[in-house]
Amino acid sequence: MRTQRMTLSVSVLALLTLAACGTESGSGSGKGSGAGGDSVQSDVPVTGVAWRVDSVTVGGKKTEAPEGARLEIDPKGRATADFGCNHISVDARVKGDRITLGKPVTTQMACDVKIEKFEKAAIDAMGGEHTAKLSGDRLTLTTEGGDSMALSEEKPADLVGTRWAVTTLLSGETATTVPADLPQEKAPHLTLSEDGTVEGNSGCNSFRGQATVKGSTITFGPVAGTRKMCPEAEMATERAVLAALNGKVTYTIKGKALTLTAADGKGIGATVTPAGGGSGSQHG
Q: What DSSP letter does each residue of 144-210 carry, written as one string?
A: TTS-EEEEEE-PPPPSBT-EEEEEEEEETTEEEEPPTTS-GGG--EEEE-TTSEEEEE-SSSEEEEE
SS3 243: helix
pLDDT of residue 275: 54
Q: Residues 115, 66: contact at Cβ < 8 Å? A: yes
> Cβ of 36: how many Cβ atoms within 10 Å?
9
SS3 212: strand
Q: Residues 107, 86: contact at Cβ < 8 Å? A: yes
What are the residues whose beta carbons fall under 8 Å from the beta carbon of 108, sequence distance 6 or more?
A: 86
Which ranges of the chain would DSSP assign to H, the alpha helix? 13-16, 113-126, 232-244
Q: Is 177 exposed, middle or buried (0-12, 13-18, 19+ CB in 10 A)?
A: middle
Main-chain phi, psi angles of 15, to 5 degrees: -65, -35
pTM value is 0.58
Length of the chain: 284
pLDDT of residue 50: 84
Cα–chain-centroid distance for residue 48?
A: 11
pLDDT of residue 274: 64
> Cβ of 153: how many Cβ atoms within 10 Å?
22
pLDDT of residue 33: 33
SS3 111: coil
- Total H helices, total E strands in the chain: 3, 19
Nearest 5°: the CA angle 154, 158, 246 is: 120
Q: Residues 239, 233: contact at Cβ < 8 Å? A: no
Cα–chain-centroid distance for residue 236?
A: 24
Q: Kindly compute the dihedral angle of the four CA atoms of residues 100, 104, 105, 109, in this order, to the nearest 10 degrees.
A: 140
Instruction: Give mean pLDDT in consecutive 10-residue pieces for the chain, a chain of 284 residues.
Output: 35 29 33 35 65 92 88 88 86 89 84 87 88 89 93 90 93 82 86 96 95 96 92 92 94 90 92 60 37
d(CA 215, CA 34): 30
